Amino acid sequence: MNWNTGTREQIRDWLQSIMAERNMSPIELAKFVGVSPTTIYRAIDVASEFTTTTKTLEKVASKVGRQPPGPSYLDAHHIRPLNSPSGLEAIDVPRNLITLTADEHRLLAYRILDRSLELEGYLPGDIVVIDEDVAPSAGDIVCVDLSNQRPGGAGRVLRLFEPPYLMSRSIDRRVEPAPILLDRSVEIKGTATAMLREMRKAS
């Protein structure tokens, strides 16, 4: 599915009109809405290929009481943010990771908050993309929903897929060491297909 660049222009015009009406700078709008100033600057930059996400548009629309001007790249690719689960923080799919996946696949993205898979190379702060349309094979990292197994407990977590079990791989003793048996109470939501790690700049 191709992205319509006209929509990006509409979003830019929409944001600029909001700032003009409210006499706000990009920084002031970002603070008012609760997003990063970089998000607003990139969205209104004519030369930028950045595409504003549905989540950001909804935040702006909710704050200013105006309907956003159409779908974002997220909608066009069936990408949808979720509520933050335990151990994972749901985020919008980073644009630089979208190119690594098939256009029509349904994607989820999470920032890892725990150390359950540190021995597999997945560390707190890493961003992982989950493809809901890829069936896992032994050795893959999967996103699994444990809500039905543990009401009120852990929601979605990452685990190593080793049928008939899901495994954590950590040196942190606070991480549950016991394998999880794959049964009807465990729902696999998709397979990890990409990961991004933000490196700190040298001081």
For 27-39, the pLDDT digits (tens) are 999 999 888 888 8
For residues 181 and 106, state if they share a domain.
yes
Structural domain contains residue 81: no
Whole-number Å distance between alpha carbons of 49 and 195: 21
Q: pLDDT per residue over 174-192, tens digit each?
A: 666 678 888 888 889 999 9
Q: Which domain range does residue 51 map to? A: 5-75
Q: What's the CA gap between 150 and 88, in Å, rounded? A: 16
* pTM for the structure as a whole: 0.54
> Residues near 106 by Cβ (< 8 Å), separated by ≥ 6?
78, 79, 80, 131, 132, 133, 190
Domain boundary among 27, 49, 75: 75
Q: Is residue 82 part of a domain?
A: no
Instruction: Give 45-95 pLDDT, tens digit per residue.
Output: 887 777 677 678 778 887 887 776 654 444 444 444 444 445 787 877 666
CA–chain centroid gap for 132, Å, is 13
Residue 99 shares a structural domain with residue 55: no
Count of the separate structural domains present in the chain? 2
Tracing tokens 């009481």 back to the chain, one arrives at 65
